[in-house]
Structure 1
Amino acid sequence: MLIISPSITLPESELVERFLRADGPGGQHVNRTESAVELRFDVIHSPSLPDEVRERLLARRDRRLTSEGVLVIQARRFRDQARNRDDVRERLIEIIRSVLIPPKKRLATKPTRASKERRLVGKQQRGKTKQNRSRKPDLE
């Protein structure tokens, strides 16, 4: 059981782990052992997630989220399977925790009078600079 927060826990039955051979250096060892771990978590059909957390998780623009709403995380950082398993579970916990707190709504503000004046003065200066470029210099 993964404990995300005091109110959210994920049972092992919702997590699907697959073990694969890790790529990269490692000599003969890398060809024999399946140390890489792929964890799949079905976000859409999970009864453990509250609806608002599920919506925020699905709204994330994350390439690890498939079109069917399955979150796929791979871990191949370590050479042994147990450490990669722990790593992939920690990353899942971090992803879910990152959407627990709803984003703050933006408060609409108006520009100050001084900032409007600075903008207009800057526009006038740029306009004068461009006008001076097109004028012929006086040869007197």
Structure 2
Amino acid sequence: MIKPNQEADRLAEEERQKQQELEDQRLKEEQARQAELEAERQRALDSARAAQENMSVEGTINVLKSRTGRSYVVVGSFFDKDQAMDFANERKGDGLTSYIIEPYGKTRFYRVAVESFDSYQEGVQQAEGYKDEYGSDVWVLKY
């Protein structure tokens, strides 16, 4: 014979087991949702990374018509503006920035610079690094 207390305990245990099963099921569903969200986030990151890799990096050309007070590492000097622009466009296609310094004073040459600095000394220090790529005629211009 089953006593009333035993029956109540058995029913309570069955109810606890059902509740535990429901909680376990909810936990599994939540974990599955989290895994799907993480997978979706990873797919979005991979897609963005792939899009960025496929994008071509575009350089810039800055034409300077008046003095700036900065120092520029000059790698080319051209009598013709078109030649200076062609050289700068080659660099632009490689994703690099160029500065075209228009003729001023008595000079008639367009200079193409690859980098600018606040101080002349900084420019001189960095100019050495460009000599391997552009030759020994690399120099610094305070403009």
Pair member with larger Rg: 2
TM-score tier (shorter): under 0.3
Q: TM-score, normalised by structure 2?
A: 0.19
Larger RCO, structure (CA 8 Å, separation 6 or more): 2
Normalized per residue, which structure has more helix?
2
How high is the TM-score relative to the length of structure 1? 0.20
